[in-house]
Structure 1
Amino acid sequence: MTAVSRLSEILGGGDDPTAPVSVVRVLARHGFGVVEPGQLLAARGTLDGQIVVGGDLLRGALDVTAGDLARTALTVPETLEAHVGEDDAVAAGLACAGGATLLAHPLDGGPAHALAEAFAAGTPAALVSTVDGRAALAVVGNDLETVHGSLGGDGAGLDEAALGHVRGLLRRGATATERVELAGTEVLVDLWVPVPSLLVVGAGALGEALAAQAEVLGWGYRTTTTVAETTAAVGAFTDADVLVLLDHDPAFDEALLAGLGHGRGFLGALGSRRTQAARRERLLAAGVTEDGLTAIHGPVGLDLGARTPAETAVSVVAEVLAVRSGRDPDALSAKRGQIGA
């Protein structure tokens, strides 16, 4: 079981959906070098009276301390100052020693289950709490449109400020952790934006160029060559996953059908207009509707005038980025208003 799936299981309640859940987050830190944002550890009770813990803080360097803290925070928020020495920090993969202020707080069932489902599905999610941990809300969905919980405060002003803030962060397209003041209240914000994982079916220069683009962007990358392997991979897609089908063999229609069946991820297929037309007729004959076909991006890529494999790879990942952000690509010089808004 991966760390993400374990965290999702704990937040979701496991064998007892009514069990109390707590989370531990990094409220402040000094040292350690560059640390990934979105650090989270969770704990919950079980039917047999045990408490299970999962997640990751500072590459595991504080998991024991944070686990103990999570167990005590199932009902009452708590903060703790923790320190990691040089040897332990380096052994965990951190650059150097450091200290952190950990915030542990209970999380109601609604926000906890929402985060669990978002982590499992690979969709964006945010957790915002007051810095004392006494109130929290979770926001999930591709546009962070669904809200669970409330920060309280005077009317809905704080909640609205929090929603505006995390949705603004989402437009940057990267996981983030911030301690900020919103509507006169200091809050801790964690935003998780799933990293795309690129599945390329086929080989050759374009496959190599796509691998290079994935590395530059920090995306996951893998290749498959058989229909069975590809179909299984696409069948397990989350919304963050991307298929680029380079192989024109009609047998790979099975993988596209698997993707259309569950509606998750980006489905792209290379090929000439003739290849696309033939694929379209086969899929229609297989029962796919005209509307369903719009979920397949083919020929995949934006019209950038690409000629080389490297340029074509840029056009492909550019379309993925545009689709993920809900944009209709156009030249920035033709836009009006703030760039990046």
Structure 2
Amino acid sequence: MTELSEVLAGGDDPAAPVGVVRVLARHGFGVVEPGQLLAARGTLMGEIVTGGDLLRGALDTSATELARTALSAPGTQEAHVAEDDAVAAGLACAGGATLLAHPLPGDAAAALARGFTQGVPAALVSTVDGTAALVLVGADLAERHGTLGSTDLDTAAAEHLAGLLRRGATVTDRAELAGTDVLVDLWVPVPSLLVVGAGALGEALAAQAAVLGWGCRTASTVAETTAAVEAFTDADVLVLLDHDPAFDEALLAGLRHGRGFLGALGSRRTQAARRERLLAAGITEAQLAGIHGPVGLDLGARTPAETAVSVVAEVLAVRSGRDPGALSAGGGQIGA
């Protein structure tokens, strides 16, 4: 099966519509990851390619055929997975689902693909009958493609998604907005941490990433680090522990690339020296604001484990657009 983003992006016929299949309702299966999506697209050679999966592949056979029909018209289908098949697929138990299939215009599908590949939030909202769909992409979901049929409904969907986005997690939600029943899928990329440098703090950062469900990898050379940063998406995070000025090359690459979170440890003196070197290399004061250094929130951390908490806390705050403060001092909704 072809990668989901490749199918959505369009390949040799980007203007062609895509048929998508999503989980409208379900019972059983145990805990299921949100954001289930399978897509199908016709090629210029007359073939149909598919990507993605539903419920760990347990429903792919029926869903693939449904996705083919969705290329031309929306529809729903009931599906059931027996106990043995469910367990074999990695699900907790048997269950049933109502699958919603509907066409998605080529430009909207391509926008969704860009969101996935660039590591930025992306959302797909449709009426529950599949007759209208809206795709929103970007850090604040400002880029829109398609419509749910009215300005009021599109606005209500955007406001609903803004609330979901503040939770910082992928979610599938069915809601009534502006008097219309809709199915909402929001994909929020999971951060991936790149730690450059060894020692107790590096180990603590890896442990903290594991607790949060983030990816984590390490690098030790300038070339390896620079190559990784040049390939960053907005979901990627650099934490530079090594103070060697040679690693300025990686920071320069990150600032010019413009994606991801760039964090660097070091004393005030180390930060000042790094700042002067980067300015001398042609980086502007405005660009320097893209480096979080010394990285981490002022939590009074003393140990490597506590410092790791302060680092990931700043990453979370930046990703959510929050100005960190005590919950007791704020007036907003807790958990929003």
TM-score (norm 2): 0.97
Amino acid at match of 2:76: T
Structure 2 counterpart of 1:40? 37
The more displaced of 21-30 and 323-332 is 323-332
- Is 1:158 aligned to 2:150, yes or no? no
- Is 1:196 aligned to 2:169, yes or no? no
Equivalences, count: 336
- Is 1:332 aligned to 2:327, yes or no? yes
Structure 1 counterpart of 2:89? 92
The alignment partner of 1:80 has SS state of strand
- Is 1:314 aligned to 2:312, yes or no? no
Q: Within 5 A, what are the aligned runs for 1:158-237?
A: 158-237=153-232
The alignment partner of 1:100 has SS state of strand
Aligned partner of 2:137 among 130, 135, 140:
140
Percent of pairs identical after alignment? 82
Counterpart CA distance in 1 for 2:204 and 2:23 is: 38
The more displaced of 313-322 and 80-89 is 80-89
In the TM superposition, what is the alpha-carbon distance from 1:233 to its structure 2 partner? 1.0
Structure 1 counterpart of 2:72? 75
Counterpart CA distance in 1 for 2:58 and 2:19 is: 19
Note if contact 2:196-2:239 (Cα within 8 Å) is conserved in structure 1: yes
Amino acid at match of 1:248: H
Note if contact 2:14-2:107 (Cα within 8 Å) is conserved in structure 1: no
In the TM superposition, what is the alpha-carbon distance from 1:252 to its structure 2 partner? 1.1
Counterpart CA distance in 2 for 1:181 and 1:334 is: 33
The alignment partner of 1:89 has SS state of helix
Counterpart CA distance in 2 for 1:293 and 1:18 is: 40
Unaligned 5+ residue runs, structure 1?
none
In the TM superposition, what is the alpha-carbon distance from 1:86 to its structure 2 partner? 1.4
Counterpart CA distance in 2 for 1:18 and 1:139 is: 18
Structure 2 counterpart of 1:238? 233
Structure 1 counterpart of 2:121? 124
Counterpart CA distance in 2 for 1:239 and 1:86 is: 39
- Is 1:25 aligned to 2:7, yes or no? no
In the TM superposition, what is the alpha-carbon distance from 1:108 to its structure 2 partner? 1.1
The more displaced of 178-187 and 45-54 is 178-187
Counterpart CA distance in 2 for 1:242 and 1:192 is: 18
- Is 1:11 aligned to 2:22, yes or no? no
Q: Within 5 A, what are the aligned runs for 1:258-297?
A: 258-297=253-292
Note if contact 2:298-2:310 (Cα within 8 Å) is conserved in structure 1: yes
Counterpart CA distance in 2 for 1:219 and 1:311 is: 18
The alignment partner of 1:64 has SS state of helix
Counterpart CA distance in 1 for 2:152 and 2:74 is: 23
In the TM superposition, what is the alpha-carbon distance from 1:33 to its structure 2 partner? 0.7
Please list the CA deviations of residues 217-237 of structure 1 after superposition, one character each: whole Å capped at 9, or x if unmatched: 111111111111111111111
Aligned partner of 2:103 among 101, 106, 130:
106
The alignment partner of 1:276 has SS state of helix
Query: Structure 1 runs of 4+ off > 6 angstroms?
Result: none
The alignment partner of 1:143 has SS state of coil
In the TM superposition, what is the alpha-carbon distance from 1:329 to its structure 2 partner? 1.3
Counterpart CA distance in 2 for 1:292 and 1:178 is: 38
Superposition CA RMSD, Å: 1.3
Note if contact 2:24-2:97 (Cα within 8 Å) is conserved in structure 1: yes
The alignment partner of 1:38 has SS state of coil
Unaligned 5+ residue runs, structure 2?
none
Note if contact 2:15-2:107 (Cα within 8 Å) is conserved in structure 1: no
Counterpart CA distance in 2 for 1:274 and 1:50 is: 61
- Is 1:253 aligned to 2:248, yes or no? yes
